[in-house]
Amino acid sequence: MKSEKVMSLIEILPETHGVEISIEYATANNFTDKPVYGRAGCYLHPEAEELLRVAVDLAGNLSLKIKIFDAFRPSEAQWVLWSHTPDPDFLADPKRGSPHSRGAAVDLTLIDAGGRELEMGTPFDAFTPLSHHGNQGVSVEAQRNRALLMGLMTTAGWDFYRNEWWHYQLFDARRLPVFSDSVLDKPMMPQE
């Protein structure tokens, strides 16, 4: 029987949340160069889902939309990523647990009315100092777009991670439990 915590993850869908979703870890378009998830899924803890709705509204007021690259990340996936690249500047050590594995973090960008991603200076998951907030080595346009994204997200109530322009999380996310893939009705991790 599933615990009450299981019911606390809310599925995020384009039709219910007004976002575009491109779960990169379900494809080879990520730093591991192979799919980590067997199924693309986008879930958030209820507190994070509420803040996402606020951010979506704020972006909509500027004729922009949010595109999500990753949200809930099963703890098993965090181990896969850490085993591939154990870099604490860009990945949470799975022994401590990632805010993603708590359903309390989202990786995202902004897209315009034509569906084009705004220039951010680096791709999602570029593990380089150029991905840091405030890095002046990226174009002025990218700096402006990062500041716009940060403004929208922090106004909506999110905390940011200084090394990744795309990563936002709940304040004090580590107070929430870490979830494994088993909490989902339909697993995201590849099935043997």
How many domains does the chain fold into?
Answer: 1
State the CATH number of the domain containing residue 126. Answer: 3.30.1380.10
- The residue range of the domain holding 170 is 4-183
d(CA 77, CA 37): 7
Residues 68/106, Cβ–Cβ less than 8 Å: yes
**Residue 60: inside a domain:** yes
Q: What are phi and psi of 117, to 5 degrees?
A: -65, 140
- pLDDT value at residue 1: 34
What pLDDT digit, counting tens, does each position of 132-190 carry? 999 999 999 999 999 999 999 999 999 999 999 999 999 999 999 999 999 999 999 99
* In a domain? residue 149: yes
Asked if residue 191 is part of any domain, the answer here is no
* 164 among known catalytic residues: yes
- Residues 125-146: pLDDT tens digits? 999 999 999 999 999 999 999 9
**189 occurs within a structural domain:** no
Residue 190 located in a structural domain: no
Evaluate whether residue 129 is within a structural domain: yes
Out of 24, 49, 76, 164, the active site residue is 164
